[in-house]
């Protein structure tokens, strides 16, 4: 964990370790999957959970499922902000998207708190292996 201080602004920026990043994903419950659609980067909201140190989400047919079926490298990001106190955090996991197909993993994923808010079916589970994990927390004050 690395800390940077800006004395003039009394701002502290802390680089988060892997475990803290994954814990923040667990608590966030909502994130954005960043992938390429026709060579254009797109960020799509999803409900997220952590399964065996990787981020998972449920989806149906469309660009997110296509990314998993084609083995695209994607990022998934979550953050939290307190506008009153000017504090916040942001975490990102990047890896090759994959469709969960193993029945035991699908059964295990059914036990994590993954509850899509969007209407409609969410028949497929996608895993983003936590190949690259990074995060930062910013705080203000004396």
Interval 43-98: pLDDT, tens: 999 999 999 999 999 999 999 999 999 999 999 999 999 988 889 999 999 999 99
Question: What is the span of the domain harbouring residue 86?
Answer: 3-140
First to last CA, the chain: 20
Q: Is the pTM of this model over 0.85?
A: yes
Enumerate residues 6+ apart whose C-beta is below 8 A from 110.
none
Residue 3 clears pLDDT 70, i.e. is over it: no
Q: Looking at the 3D structure of the chain, how many domains does it have?
A: 1
Q: Which two tokens stand for residue 70?
A: 């084609």
Closest Cα partner for 59 from 109, 2, 123? Answer: 123
Q: Which two three-digit tokens encode residue 45?
A: 């909201």
Contacts of 60 (CB under 8 A, 6+ apart): 120, 121, 122, 123, 124
pLDDT in tens, 86-132: 899 999 999 999 999 999 999 998 888 888 888 888 999 999 999 99
DSSP 65: H
| Whole-angstrom distance, CA of residue 77 vs CA of residue 72 | 16
* CATH code for the domain in which residue 14 is found: 2.30.110.10
Q: What is the pLDDT of residues 11-50, one digit of tens each?
A: 899 999 999 999 999 999 999 999 998 889 999 999 999 9
Which helix (H) or strand (E) segment holds residue 19: the answer is helix 18-28
Six-digit token string for 63: 């660009």
């Amino acid at each position: 964990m690395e800390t940077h201080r800006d004395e003039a602004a009394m701002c502290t920026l802390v680089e988060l370790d892997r475990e803290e990043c994954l814990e923040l994903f667990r608590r966030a419950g909502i994130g954005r999957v960043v992938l390429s659609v026709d060579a254009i980067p797109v960020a799509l909201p999803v409900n997220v959970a952590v399964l065996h140190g990787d981020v998972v989400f449920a989806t149906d047919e469309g660009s997110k499922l296509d990314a998993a079926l084609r083995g695209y490298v994607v990022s998934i990001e979550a953050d939290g902000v307190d506008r009153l106190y000017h504090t916040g955090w942001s975490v990102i996991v990047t890896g090759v998207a994959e469709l969960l197909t193993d029945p035991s993993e699908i059964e295990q994923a059914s036990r994590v708190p993954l509850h899509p808010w969007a209407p409609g079916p969410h028949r497929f589970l996608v895993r983003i292996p936590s190949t690259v994990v990074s995060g930062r927390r910013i705080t203000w004050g004396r």
